[in-house]
Amino acid sequence: MSHLILRSARRIPHTKRLFVSASIRLMSTQFTNILTSRPEPGVALITLNRPKALNALSSPLMNELSQALKEFDSDPQIGAIVVTGSEKAFAAGADIKEMKDKQFADVIKENWLGNWSDMTRIQKPIIAAVSGFALGGGCELAMMCDIILASPTAKFGQPEIELGIIPAGGATQRLTHAIGKSRAMEIILTGRHFSAQEAEKWGLISRVVGDGEGVVVKEAVEIAKTIAGKGQIAVQTAKETVNAAYELSLAEGLRLERRLFHGLFATQDQKEGMAAFTEKRKAVFTHL
């Protein structure tokens, strides 16, 4: 088996081989709907893996994703996490086959989709690397991440209205915050898809990366690697502060920012970072 893997790896271009080899070595055996790997020091990569269903977000997949995120969040060796899908689909939506026969009582008693918010409680930064379709729940999943990178092929949208329902994974709130009421209304009420270029123009995503298979994942991993090289306490504090801007008034947000800034002066990383700056050397953070 090892000879077959090596022969196959040699046929893969070098830029992609790093990701493939890492996945082969470190792929988790406990999951069936996702793949996990560590392509760079400090970086975790989670790949949605239901290709025949265009990575439709079934309950088993979301449970596995939540478990993997929590495990990486508690791993001191990991500083940032990348979530991606395939070239064809980041995630084409929630699993309609799973939900189509459910009744009102079922979704109430099961708190249907309630566990999706688990992702927003992860402390470490999460970067979405989006190619292909990111529709419905897939678009909402991307919006729950902290940074979104998209390939030129990415297509976003909230087509739930076509099914006689509304979004339930946060789109009515997060999309409105990101792109404004009028655009969010149009997208949600018509169900139309929008391009990566529109998403970038509207401020929904960080940027559109270059064309080519695997480029968006490579770029996301590079950003995650950069973040992982910083002090984890400062990174997690910064994430908390930025997210608070969605819920607090300006005065409350500024007060929180200042208090958390003050708190960082109790860390060893603050002492090391400022000493390294004055000594003109690279900081060596210990995350303490």
Active site residues: 94, 137, 140, 160
For residue 139, CA distances in Å to 32, 50, 133, 175 come to: 22, 16, 8, 9
Cα 88 to Cα 132: distance, rounded to the nearest angstrom: 5
- Is residue 224 within 8 A of residue 80, CB to CB? The reply is yes
Q: What are phi and psi of 103, to 5 degrees?
A: -105, 165
Cα 175 to Cα 69: distance, rounded to the nearest angstrom: 23
CB neighbours (10 Å) of residue 145? 22
For tokens 């060893």, the residue is: 268
CB neighbours (10 Å) of residue 215? 18
Count Cβ atoms within 10 A of the Cβ of residue 138 and give its class: 0-12 exposed, 13-18 middle, 19 or more buried: buried
CB neighbours (10 Å) of residue 189? 11
Cα 38 to Cα 82: distance, rounded to the nearest angstrom: 10
Interacting residues of 39 by C-beta distance below 8 A, sequence separation 6+ = 18, 19, 22, 23, 45, 221
Cα 199 to Cα 218: distance, rounded to the nearest angstrom: 20
Helices marked H in 81-214: 96-99, 104-109, 137-144, 171-179, 181-190, 196-202
